[in-house]
Amino acid sequence: MLKRIVALSAPVVLLASPVMAGDQDFQVYNKTGYTISEVYVSASNADDWEEDVMEADVLADGEAVDIEFARGTKGCRFDLKVVYDDGTPAVWNRLDLCSVSKVTLRYDRNADRTWATTD
């Protein structure tokens, strides 16, 4: 399982210590049947997506990545964007990451529908 720390407006680095964790930490679990090549997390009021938190890594089907925020990160509402390895994006807006610990991504091939459930 991968762990990433999100520092908005700064480069993403690997988590150095659990003490650095923020209140918005969550896990993205890929149950879509496809590989996700990019994952973006941005404050809902931001104008851009910042950096791909996966860097050069991918999130294969059945895998999870921990997204951990720097301690002191403000706000709870964040947007999540993933890009599948074929270039297709999916976006979820205004997730309350202060109350969410896990986002599970799913895809229904018959309906051509992507959705997310939160825990």
Give the span between the Cα atoms of 107 and 75, in whole angstroms: 29
Out of 50-59, 63-72, 92-101, the most confident range is 92-101
Among the ranges 21-30, 36-45, 69-78, which has the highest mean pLDDT value?
36-45
Q: What is the pLDDT of residues 74-103, one digit of tens each?
A: 999 999 999 999 999 999 999 999 999 999
What is the percent of the chain with per-residue pLDDT over 70, rounded to a whole number?
82
Q: In the chain, what are the domain boundaries?
A: 2-118
Tokens of 14: 């690997």
Question: CA 55: distance to chain centroid?
Answer: 12
Put simply, whether the predicted model's pTM sits higher than 0.85 gets the answer no
- 20 pLDDT higher than 70: no
Domain 2-118 in this protein, CATH class:
mainly beta
* Other Cβ atoms within 10 Å of 117 Cβ, number: 11
